Amino acid sequence: MSKKQIRVQIFADGQIKADVIGVKGKACMDYIDILEQLLDAETVDSEYTAEYYETELVDLRQQQKNMNNNY
Amino acid sequence: MSVSLALVPIALAMRLVMGKKNFDNWVQSMQFSIPSLFEKESELARTVRKAGYDCEKWGSSYKTHIDGEDLFFFWEFLNGKWVAVFGKYDSRQHIERFIANVNRAAGKQMFDVSTLQQNELKTGSAALPATNTTAAMLPQAFPTNFRDGELLFKTLKEFGINPVRNGSVITCKIENSHLTFRQSGDHPFQVEIHNEPDLRKIFQYLSDIDDDYKRCLQEVVYKKLKARAEERNMTIESEEVMEDNSIVLTLNIGS
């Protein structure tokens, strides 16, 4: 199991880049608020990475399977 | 990695590119404000979009493009109303068309005509024609990236000039020019420059202050992050200063 981490890079011009690492699917969204609170900052851009979409794919397959079972 | 974020500290408005090479851009960013009758964010965004423009949340402001990607302005909330803050050298034609379209979308005049007329008297031909618009010209007032008064005061002090603070107004003297930094609410400070024999020189000072402010802010954010991470039982896995002077902290966030 991969480590759950946040990597924060604070640039000399004040801008900040933050990556949430190892948190699966939509759970990583919770960290947007947490990071804004930790840094007293506002998010101006966000990008989901391959890991997020891979997890979503698994979720969709699971949802489909559950639906099939219900019928 | 599952999500990657770009953030801007609340203390900073990343609007202006300062620096020695950007003097002309900065001069052109001299602002004038056109107060609107919009009071609610939702009403502002809905009407502006209905008029065919974007209205994108940008920190505590909104950003609207009025000529493709090239020309945009910010909406700021001042004294209970949303105010459109344009650059003094922005295309009058586009501004007028924008205002007319918004009025049409709203089905009524959304901009205060009386204020425009007063300002036309003050500013002469530089103001918009007396159609259905308003313009509160702010002579020699320039935008800045500063939003935190404490930090600005500290930066000015460390810069070696003696700032004086009176409420939200900070004044100081650089060579023979008097600078007045004013802030409305939590919006970015504007700087008024009085007696500027050499505006280019003042701009260079302000660029240096901008750099120092950002450096101070980097330190503040770094210290705050470490302290708050500890409060939340996050442990620091690693900490590194990179070649570009950025600081990278990796935090373990547990299960």
CA angle A64, A66, A71 (to 5 degrees): 95
Architecture category of domain B31-139 in CATH: 2-Layer Sandwich (3.30)
Chain A residues whose CB is inside 8 A of the B234 CB are 6
Along the 255 residues of chain B, how does pLDDT read in single tens digits? Answer: 578 899 888 888 766 666 656 666 666 666 677 889 999 999 999 999 999 999 988 767 888 999 877 788 889 887 788 988 887 667 778 888 899 999 999 999 998 655 444 444 444 434 443 333 333 333 467 888 899 999 999 999 999 989 999 988 999 998 888 899 998 777 888 888 887 667 778 888 888 899 999 999 999 999 999 999 999 889 999 999 999 999 999 999 875
Q: H or E element: which one contains B182?
A: strand B177-182
Closest CA to B14 of B199, B183, B210: B210
**Are A42 and B7 within 8 A, CB to CB?**
yes
Q: CATH fold of B143-252, please? A: TATA-Binding Protein (3.30.310)
Interchain CB contact of B59 with A (< 8 Å): yes
Contact, A61 vs A44, CB < 8 A?
no
Contacts of B248 (CB under 8 A, 6+ apart): A7, A8, A9, A10, B238, B239, B240, B241, B242
Interchain CB contact of B30 with A (< 8 Å): no
ipTM reported for the complex, 2 dp: 0.75
Chain B residues whose CB is inside 8 A of the A47 CB are 3-5
Q: What is the pLDDT of residue B135?
A: 35
Contact, A32 vs A16, CB < 8 A?
no
Question: How far is residue A9's CA from residue A12's CA, in Å, rounded to a whole number?
Answer: 10
**Are A44 and B244 within 8 A, CB to CB?**
no
Count CA atoms closer than 13 A to B74's CA, side-chain side. 18
Task: Check whether A51 has a pLDDT greater than 80.
Answer: no
Chain B residues whose CB is inside 8 A of the A39 CB are 7, 9, 221, 224-225
Q: What is the pLDDT of residue B205?
A: 87
What DSSP string describes B78-144?
ETTEEEEEEETTS-HHHHHHHHHHHHHHHTS--B-HHHHHHHHHHHGGGSPPSSS---EE-TTEEE-
- List the 150-209 stretch of B: residues with Cβ below 8 A of A: none
Residue A51 or residue B184, greater confidence:
B184
Count CA atoms closer than 13 A to B58's CA, side-chain side. 21
Contact, B36 vs B49, CB < 8 A?
no
**Are A43 and B5 within 8 A, CB to CB?**
yes
Query: Could you tell me the residue ranges of all domains in chain B?
Result: 31-139, 143-252
